[in-house]
Amino acid sequence: MTVRPTPRGPAAAAAAHIAFGCAFAYGAMKLDWALGGQFLMRQTPLPAGARDDLLNSTPLTIAGSWASVVLALVGMAAALHLSGRFGPHGRFRRMALLAGSWAGCAFMTARAVGLLGYGFAGDLRMLTGRASVPPAYEDLARSQAHWDLLLWSPYWLLFGTCWGVAAWHYRKVGRHRPVADGA
């Protein structure tokens, strides 16, 4: 007998493929930064000191960009596994894949909503004047809030939601059933 993966539905496959695309896009942007580019660098919501370090390409921010490239590659591989692209997984690999996927879902969704400082809630507080910002940084903070509200928070929400949907279906339907050879 051989073991074949149980087919996943279109929602699971779409979610895994979108997660792959999000990981690819993020990794490509971070690779650009690691190699000296500045694509969307100025639009990244960061505290003033961290933003200056990023714009000045300090060694620590370059190392962080390379670490993000590696994480993006891991995310792309995980998304392919969640999509059912590869054969059955053993118990340890399956649990590691699910744990990482759920952790990614939780982190990205929390980031999008605003539980980690930036996100929809913080952006709206900033844009409605309910957040206190030193006057010297008010224009920068408003610009970052606009970019975060229109680009980054929706991106993180999409990415996190896709991880959750793909992990849910992988957990639910990802068990493998034996099938007779030749079937």
43-58 residue pLDDT tens: 999 988 999 999 999 9
Q: Assign 8 a pLDDT band (cuts: 50, 70, 90).
A: low
Q: What is the reported pLDDT for 93?
A: 87
Question: Where do the domains of the chain lie?
Answer: 2-179
Question: Is residue 1 over pLDDT 50?
Answer: no
* DSSP letter for each residue of 96-129: HHHHHHHHHHHHHHHHHHTTTSSSHHHHHHHHTT
Question: pLDDT tens for residues 83-118?
Answer: 888 766 788 888 999 999 999 999 999 999 999 888
CA-to-CA distance for 132 and 145, rounded, in angstroms? 13
Spatial contact of 94 and 172, defined as CB atoms under 8 Å apart: no
- The share of the chain scoring above pLDDT 70, in percent, equals 89
Residues in CB range of 77: below 8 A, 6 or more apart: none
Place of tokens 């913080």: 122
Q: Between 67 and 9, name the one with better pLDDT.
A: 67
Q: What is the reported pLDDT for 22?
A: 98
Q: Between 120 and 179, name the one with better pLDDT.
A: 120
Q: What is the reported pLDDT for 10?
A: 82
